[in-house]
């Protein structure tokens, strides 16, 4: 390692461990979560849905293929800190722009390596999600444990506004069907997938007044992924309601899925342990097929929380039976909890973007026929 400075991980339940500092020197904290993906650490670290969380990777070797600008899901890292088993300061990928080590330092991300991450994954699975602190400057464990206890819970926190873009941006062909996308922490690859469908995508900051959105004359609406608790997001639920009133097709992913559900009176609750990884089996209840999916969420809808008069449950998580997809009955909208745009993968669920395209095209043709 380039540094031999000691770092400490302290959990709010009093559990601690000593490792070696990586990234920037300092102290950081947040909700401790883990991701089971075997590749894609850069996409994970830059995913806005992880804002305010400590990311523990279950795959042991992290950093061995460096970092590349093209793999960013946002312009900067979004995780609060990084925890790994075996950290590589060198990389062997000739397509990389640089090392993960320098990238973390450049962006001020504090981390720790040399821990038995399997132990901490089992601990969280047994005890439930909790906050933690990483420090490479404070050596008093009692102080760090107290700091972890005092760290704000993700429950009740509205974080989407803090990661949303500041300005309206446009993407894709000017002559494409027009999509208005609400950015609650929107990943770059979602934009890429919408553009691949031929859409002209206008991405709006999270709190953009709906009258301003209407000026783009959209053919459909998209509600994005993002961090935090959806329950305090009244502004987002208001936008969903106004989008429904237009009669245009609506598609939501992850946080967007939760906001659409809440707007229709379907409860969303904090999970005991969230879903984060690239190997989650989801059953499509329409086709009967099982999709391997990428997921990143700490809140969910339970099966018994869905009123069958409001929506059909289209997808179910085979691990814990939580709801992974809804198709609404009172308006032309559908949503999924997982990430069909997954980068680097898997891509089993990419058809959902084609479904959105089909719905938007059909609605636009129907509207044109009615006008003529």
The catalytic site residues sit at 254, 339, 341
| Residues sharing a CB contact under 8 Å with residue 326, sequence separation 6 or more, in sequence order | 257, 260, 261, 266, 301, 306, 311, 312, 313, 314, 334, 335, 336
Quote the CA–CA distance of 236 and 218 in Å, as a whole number: 17
Q: How many other CB atoms sit within 10 Å of the CB of residue 170?
A: 11
Q: Which residues contact 167 (CB under 8 A, 6 or more apart)?
A: 205
CA atoms within 13 A on the CB side of 217: 5
152 CA to centre of own chain: 19
Residue 42 DSSP one-character state: H
CB 333 within 8 A of CB 260: yes
Q: Give Rg (Cα) of the chain.
A: 21
């Amino acid at each position: 390692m380039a540094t031999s400075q000691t770092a400490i991980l302290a959990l709010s339940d009093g559990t601690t461990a000593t490792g070696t500092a990586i990234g920037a020197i300092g102290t950081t904290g947040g909700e401790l979560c883990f991701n089971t993906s075997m590749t894609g650490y850069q996409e994970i670290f830059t995913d806005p849905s992880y804002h305010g969380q400590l990311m523990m990777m279950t795959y042991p070797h992290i950093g061995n293929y460096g970092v590349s600008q093209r793999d960013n899901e946002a312009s900067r890292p979004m995780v609060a800190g990084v925890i790994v088993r075996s950290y590589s300061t060198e990389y062997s990928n000739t397509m990389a722009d640089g090392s993960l080590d320098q990238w973390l330092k450049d962006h001020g991300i504090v981390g720790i390596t040399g821990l038995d991450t399997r132990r901490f994954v089992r601990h969280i699975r047994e005890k439930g999600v909790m906050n933690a602190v990483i420090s490479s400057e404070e050596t008093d464990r009692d102080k760090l444990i107290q700091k972890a206890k005092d760290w704000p819970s993700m429950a009740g926190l509205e974080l989407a506004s803090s990661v949303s873009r500041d300005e309206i941006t446009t993407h894709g062909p000017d002559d494409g069907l027009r999509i208005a996308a609400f950015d609650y922490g929107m990943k770059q690859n979602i934009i890429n997938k919408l553009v691949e469908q031929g859409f002209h995508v206008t991405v709006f900051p999270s709190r953009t007044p709906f009258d301003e959105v209407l000026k783009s004359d959209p053919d459909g609406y998209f509600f994005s992924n993002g961090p935090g608790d959806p329950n305090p997001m009244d502004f987002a639920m208001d936008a969903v309601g106004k989008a429904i009133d237009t009669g245009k097709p609506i598609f939501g992913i992850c946080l967007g899925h939760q906001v659409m559900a809440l707007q229709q009176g379907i409860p969303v609750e904090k999970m005991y342990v969230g879903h984060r990884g690239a190997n989650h089996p989801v059953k499509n209840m329409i086709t009967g097929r099982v999709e391997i999916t990428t997921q990143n969420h700490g809140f969910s809808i339970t099966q018994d929380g869905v009123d069958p008069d409001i929506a059909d449950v289209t997808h179910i998580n085979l691990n814990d039976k939580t709801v992974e997809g809804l198709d609404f009955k009172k308006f032309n909208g559908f949503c999924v909890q997982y990430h069909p745009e997954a980068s680097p993968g898997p891509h089993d669920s990419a058809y959902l973007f084609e479904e959105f395209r089909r719905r938007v095209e059909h609605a636009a043709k129907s509207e044109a026929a009615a006008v003529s």
